[in-house]
Amino acid sequence: MDPLACTVMPYPWGSRTAIAALTGRPTPSAEPEAELWMGAHPVAPSLVERDGARASLDAVIARAPARELGDDVVRELGPRLPFLLKVLAAAEPLSLQAHPTLEQARAGFADEEARGVPRAAPSRNYKDPSHKPELLCALGPFEALSGFRRVDETLRLFDALAVPELEPALAPLRASRDAAGLAATFRALMTMPDELRRRAVDATVAAAARASDAFPRERALVGRLAALYPNDVGVVSALLLQLVHLEPGEAIYLGAGNLHAYLEGTGVEIMASSDNVLRGGLTKKHVDVPELLRVLDFGAEAPAVLRPRAIDAHESVYDTPAREFRLSRIRVGGAVTRATRGPEILLVTDGAARANGLALAQGASVFVPADTKSYTLEGDATVFRATPNLHPTRDDG
C-alpha cells in the first residue's frame, strides 16, 4: 500500500475550513481550499514513495500498468487509473455545467485537435477524449442543483415570480410542455441579447425578493446567485433545475447531459478521470452555448437521491452504471478484510484505522495496487473505498 500525498486545489469557491479540518491542519486556511485530489490525473497526480524515492502515481502506473491496475482493467479501460477521487468543499456555488457522453467527448476532442485548438486554451471544450460521469456523497448537509425539474413545477415557479421580461423565453415551454419546449426555452434564455438579459435578470431578482410563501428556497437562491454573479443568465436558468438537499451519507449520480451545480457543502466525489466540462452560467469561464445545447439531455428525469446498499455488516455501496468507478463506505469496527477489486484508493473520513498495519489518520488516503490481492482494516473509522466497476450489474452479495 502507498500512502498518498495529495494536492489541494485552491479554487475561489472553496471552503477555508472543511478540508483543513479533515486533514488535521489549522483553520481557517490561508486561501480557499476547494478540492483534495486523490489519484493519477495528470493535472495533479498524487505522490507515492517507491524504492526510496518519491514519484507521481501516474508515472508509477505507467511503468507497470498490469501490476498496478490488473489485467482486466488494462484490457477494458486502458493503462491508466480510470477514476479520480476527491473531497469537494464548496463555500460558494460552482458553475452550471454538464459533461458529454463518451462518443461526444471522442468526437469533440478529435475535432478540436484537428483544428489545432491548444489544450490549455480558455475556449477549449474537450481536454481529453473521455466522458465524466460522477458521484457525490455528502459528508454533511449538502445543497446542489441537479437535472431539469418537472415542467409543471417549473411553470408554477415562474408563475409565482410573475416576471413579464421572461415571458418571451418561457413561451416555447408554455406551448410545448415537454423536452422540446424545455430545450427551446433554455436556448432562448442562453441567447438573450445583453440588454434584454440584464433587464430579465434584474426583474427576476426583484421578484424573488418580494415577500411570498411560494418557493422560499428558490427565491433565496436567486438572491444568493445574483450577489455572486450579477447579470449572469445562470441566475435565471438555475430555476429550471431541481434543487437537491443531501443529508450525510446520501449521494447523487450525475450522468452525461445532466446540467448541475454544487451550491454548498462538503462531500466525497468520484468520477471518471476526465476534465471535460461544458459550462452554462454562474462563471467567468468560457461558455459555448451551441456545444452545451448539443450535449444536454432535456428529456431525462432529475436524478434521485441515492442511498447506499448494504453488502454486509461493514460495507455499503452506491450503485451506479459507471464502469470507471465504484464508491463504497466501510464502517471499520474491529477487523475487516477485503479482496481487492483492481486498483483501489482508501480514504479515512472519520476516526483512525490501520490498513495491513499501515496507520491511517482522519483525512489520510492510500493507493492499493491490484497485485496486493487483499488487505485488512482495523480500528474505529469510516473509510471510503474507490475501485473500478467493470461489471456494474453484478451482485456484490
pLDDT at site 211: 87
Q: How many domains does the chain have?
A: 3
- 121 contacts: CB under 8 Å, gap ≥ 6: none
Cβ atoms of 382 and 351 within 8 Å: the answer is: yes
- Are residues 185 and 204 located together in one domain of the fold? yes
Please indicate, yes or no, if residue 375 is contained in any of the structural domains. yes
Please indicate, yes or no, if residue 297 is contained in any of the structural domains. no
- Are residues 285 and 349 located together in one domain of the fold? no
- Are residues 255 and 271 located together in one domain of the fold? yes
153 band by pLDDT with thresholds 50, 70 and 90: very high
Q: How far apart are the first and last CA of the chain?
A: 26
Please indicate, yes or no, if residue 301 is contained in any of the structural domains. no
CATH number at residue 45: 2.60.120.10
Please indicate, yes or no, if residue 52 is contained in any of the structural domains. yes
pLDDT at site 392: 85
In 3D space, the residue among 129, 200, 215 whose CA is nearest the CA of residue 164 turns out to be 200
Integer Cα distance of 373 and 371 in angstroms:
5
Please indicate, yes or no, if residue 296 is contained in any of the structural domains. no
Please indicate, yes or no, if residue 204 is contained in any of the structural domains. yes
Q: Is 309 a catalytic residue?
A: no
What digits encode the pLDDT tens for the residues 349-385?
999 999 999 999 999 999 999 999 999 999 999 999 9
pLDDT at site 391: 85
Integer Cα distance of 141 and 267 in angstroms:
9
pLDDT for residue 118 is more than 80 = yes
- Are residues 100 and 36 located together in one domain of the fold? yes
- Are residues 199 and 253 located together in one domain of the fold? no
- Are residues 139 and 287 located together in one domain of the fold? yes
303 band by pLDDT with thresholds 50, 70 and 90: confident
Integer Cα distance of 61 and 367 in angstroms:
11
Options 80, 279, 338, 341, the catalytic residue? 279
Characterize 267-281 residue by residue with b for buried, 16 or more Cβ atoms within 10 angstroms of its Cβ, and e for exposed.
bbbbbbbbbbbbbbb
pLDDT for residue 397 is more than 60 = no
- Are residues 268 and 159 located together in one domain of the fold? no
396 band by pLDDT with thresholds 50, 70 and 90: low
- Are residues 64 and 164 located together in one domain of the fold? no
- Are residues 101 and 230 located together in one domain of the fold? no
Cβ atoms of 35 and 9 within 8 Å: the answer is: yes
Integer Cα distance of 40 and 47 in angstroms:
9
Please indicate, yes or no, if residue 98 is contained in any of the structural domains. yes
Please provide the average confidence, as pLDDT, over all residues in the chain.
Answer: 95
pLDDT for residue 128 is more than 70 = yes
The CA R_g of the chain, rounded to the nearest whole Å, is: 22
- Are residues 126 and 264 located together in one domain of the fold? yes
- Are residues 115 and 164 located together in one domain of the fold? no
pLDDT, greater one: 285 or 8: 8
Integer Cα distance of 233 and 209 in angstroms:
17
Cell of 123: 475556449
- Are residues 202 and 215 located together in one domain of the fold? yes
Range of the domain at 338: 310-387
In 3D space, the residue among 323, 291, 305 whose CA is nearest the CA of residue 98 turns out to be 291
What digits encode the pLDDT tens for the residues 8-45?
999 999 999 999 999 999 999 999 999 999 999 998 99
pLDDT at site 216: 96
What digits encode the pLDDT tens for the residues 233-259?
999 999 999 999 999 999 999 999 999
Strand ranges for the chain from DSSP E: 2-3, 7-9, 35-38, 47-50, 53-56, 83-90, 96-98, 134-138, 142-148, 241-246, 251-254, 260-272, 278-281, 309-310, 315-318, 326-339, 344-355, 358-360, 365-368, 374-387
